[in-house]
Structure 1
Amino acid sequence: MTLAIALYHPPMRLMPPPLLFQKGGAQVVGIAPEMFVGNRIDVLYATNRLPVGPRDARVYTVAPDRNLHFGTAHMRVGSEGTSFDDLVDWTTRNSDDRPFIHLEAMSETAALAPDDDPAEAADWFAAIDAALAATGARDLIVYVHGANTTVERAAGQAAQLQHFGAGRALVVLFAWPTAENFLRYPRDIETAFGGAPHLAELVRLLAAHTRAEKIDVFTYSAGGTVGSDGLARLAGDPGAAATRLGEVYHAAPDADFRAFATDLAAYGPIADRVTTAVNMNDSALRLAQLVNRASRAGRPDLRELSDDETATLLAASTGDRMQVVQVHPEAMDGLSARSHTFWYDDPWVSNDVLMTLLFHLTPGERGLVAGTSPQGVGYWTFPSDYTAHMPALVDLLRQRLPDAGRG
């Protein structure tokens, strides 16, 4: 029975509203009805999973493919008949009764082999530009999911990020192949490295063929391995990606810490900012460390670095462009001390994710406070009175957003 439960992959539930949305911020940030038809929302995707079935009803397998496939995931939030008013209620009020996010179908628009002309995916790029124009969004957020994740759950995570993004950025899911079986986790780490070149190519294509001003990258768990290696491949790239890489946010990154630090030194200078959110009691990363025999970037052990690597990391942590957000669950109401899923389970952390990716606020503006680890690494964390900072954050957004109160 325990094994059956562990192998079961239910759809994602819509995450609890980020704290700002619960404290009046939705009136300022707005909601994006342009992205919904009733309770349905479309999520654009790219994947290097091997497809089967007709193009208007694709199923993507756990096997990797050499091609990069592009299309649209058609999602439904809640049950049939759910209204947009229901969505507004779920967006502003926290409750235990959160709806599932169902994948209804995936329609593939194009596929590119490594040497194909990008013009063959012109319709997909045009769909991105049309969605940007419809909402007035300027940036794209490429979401990279974790290991042991079905396409439905990955698309559900991207959909809720897009929903609470309120149309201020467009989310593109990068679905890399996972075994969808926690017993095959080592294979997922191998395929994560295999997905890295495809992610790098996706960022290059988005920068070159869409009107997005910035390409942000948000990774979760083992998606941090895909993102870290993939972004390092962009270092020194003379193309548009080198100048349009915006925010990079790694939540609980399940990536080899030493390799992560090396990659960071490569792509950090071309990104607007790199943020890494960690929980030093993360139980999933504790297990991952045992399997991989090396600490993970979301639960790092500085003793693994050389003196020069440590000095470089310490210097970077004191600047404005590379930041660590340390999650202390004991200061948060209801968050497990060993949480690995904190970015979408906890309204404080999801709030910080959105304030970083959507509005590019500094940690201080977001209500975080500075600290320093015993090893001298600077970090930011949530004060115990974080909730009390929300009125000031609402006022700040009202001042800075020319279209405050839309939607």
Structure 2
Amino acid sequence: MRWQNLLALVVFHSGLIACTTPQTGLLGIAPPADNTDRIALIAATTRAPVDNPGMLFGGDRGDAVAYSRIVVSIPRDRKAGTVQLPRQMPGDAKRDFVATAVTSISRNDIANAFRADGAHRRRAFVFVHGYSTTFDRAVFRFAQLVHDSDAKAVPILFSWPSRGQFLDYKRDFDNASYSRSDLANLLEASIASPSIDEVVVLAHSMGAWLAVEALRQVALKRGGVPAKVTSLILASPDLDVGVFRRQVEDMGPRRPKITIFVARNDRALQLSQFISRGGARLGRIDLSQEKYRQALSDLKGITVLDLSALSLGDRVNHALYATSPEAVRLIGDRLLQGQVITDADVSRPAVAIDALGAAATFVVTTPILIFDTASGTRH
């Protein structure tokens, strides 16, 4: 009902009011410090560059994809799942996430960058951020995820021109759609690199629409997704359930394993559905409802993890994939290894809710609920 939608808008807005005008310019170079860890990542972006050296790239579309290598320093004395942003610039590496080096990479040298970083890590970990995310915050969030998951992979950030503003939802969606071919090209470059044996893609929120579309584009071009792409992780995907189903069908049987992190209490997706006036968002489905289980049950190789029961003091519940230590552990220990998560990887099953024949299982665990469709075989 309309009053419920308006209430959701008020609740969500009160929880995210600080994000409407986020502090930016956080990538100003700071000196390194002891008792820190460093994450070096490759960033590819369709954003236009800006003159502010602390921002590097803004929220407008660039003329071409720009590449850079960014080294992020992370203090060891912090809780897993947290990003400690600088309170003032330049940040203090002893207590803050800071950039200690930024180097541009030419388009012609991107293959060499893959080769250098992939020499001892034959797996690429590609991250696509979501709506209302500035470039600097995307860098820090990805660095936190790589660090906390202990990812043994080449970290590659794909950053599209999100405006970083709460009210720019429609513009963000257009900019994400604008970037589809560029993400597809980046994935194809990773696939083609002899230095990389596996590619794992993790996409958050609106970035999930972009990532699935890019892989669909690759599949339509190649007659399927190449086997090097072993896993697609969709975290709180801001994606219509029916659209997702059609995208997966278009990929055909040769596609990666797909893992979806959902939360029924995700207020960001509740607002997204209201703003877009669209159908149910994939990242907020209720697996106790037959219609959602039915929508996914015959799509092979899909696992849904319901994180609704996780309590982290976050009223929005839209970034649990990165802020929950248990979710981060599953990403690092299982999904980045190209493996499927089962109830044995989380807490002991509490109640068996339903069984969907040989095609799928549906099990409640504490605190994570799993829906696992039958695994398909790709060649």
Q: Is the 8 A contact 1:204 1:241 kept in 2?
A: no
Q: Is the 8 A contact 2:353 2:364 kept in 1?
A: no
For residues 259-315 of structure 1, give each alpha carbon's deviation from its aligned partner in whole angstroms, at most 9, with x where no partner exists. 12211223363333100110011111000000111221102489xx9x9x9856221
Q: Report whether the alignment pairs 1:383 with 2:379.
A: no
Q: Is the 8 A contact 2:224 2:252 kept in 1?
A: no
Partner secondary structure for residue 221 of structure 2: coil
Structure with larger RCO (C-alpha < 8 A, sep 6+): 1
Larger relative helix fraction:
1
The residue aligned with 1:29 is: none
Aligned length: 331
* 177-186 vs 267-276, which moves further: 267-276
Letter in 1 for 2:366: P
Partner Cα separation in structure 2 for residue 100 and residue 167 of structure 1: 21
| C-alpha distance 297-374 of structure 1, shift in aligned 2 (>3 A) | farther
Per-residue deviation, 1:381: 5.4
* 257-266 vs 221-230, which moves further: 257-266
Q: Is the 8 A contact 1:283 1:338 kept in 2?
A: yes
Partner secondary structure for residue 100 of structure 1: coil
Which of 137, 145, 151 is matched with 2:129 structurally? 145
Per-residue deviation, 1:44: 0.6
Partner Cα separation in structure 2 for residue 258 and residue 65 of structure 1: 31
Which of 97, 119, 122 is matched with 1:101 structurally? 97
| C-alpha distance 379-226 of structure 1, shift in aligned 2 (>3 A) | farther
The residue aligned with 1:127 is: 113
Q: Is the 8 A contact 1:207 1:241 kept in 2?
A: no
Partner Cα separation in structure 1 for residue 206 and residue 68 of structure 2: 23
Partner Cα separation in structure 2 for residue 204 and residue 128 of structure 1: 12
| C-alpha distance 257-104 of structure 1, shift in aligned 2 (>3 A) | farther
Per-residue deviation, 1:192: 1.2
Which of 171, 174, 179 is matched with 1:190 structurally? 174
Question: What is the alpha-carbon root mean square deviation over aligned residues?
Answer: 3.8
Per-residue deviation, 1:248: 0.4
Per-residue deviation, 1:190: 1.4
Aligned-residue identity in percent? 23
Partner secondary structure for residue 161 of structure 2: coil
Partner Cα separation in structure 2 for residue 327 and residue 96 of structure 1: 20
Per-residue deviation, 1:323: 1.0
Per-residue deviation, 1:221: 0.9
The residue aligned with 2:335 is: 357
Partner secondary structure for residue 248 of structure 1: strand
Q: Report whether the alignment pairs 1:43 with 2:41.
A: yes
Q: Report whether the alignment pairs 1:75 with 2:72.
A: yes
Partner Cα separation in structure 1 for residue 217 and residue 65 of structure 2: 17
For residues 205-247 of structure 1, give each alpha carbon's deviation from its aligned partner in whole angstroms, at most 9, with x where no partner exists. 1111341111111001111111121111111333996231111
The gaps in structure 1 that reach 5 residues or longer are 14-35, 79-86, 112-119, 387-407
Per-residue deviation, 1:7: 2.6
| C-alpha distance 278-209 of structure 1, shift in aligned 2 (>3 A) | same
Q: After TM superposition, list the pairs within 5 Å mapping 1:200-349 onto structure 2.
A: 200-238=184-222, 242-267=226-251, 269-294=253-278, 295-300=280-285, 313-316=296-299, 319=300, 321-329=301-309, 332-336=310-314, 338-349=316-327
Per-residue deviation, 1:77: 2.1
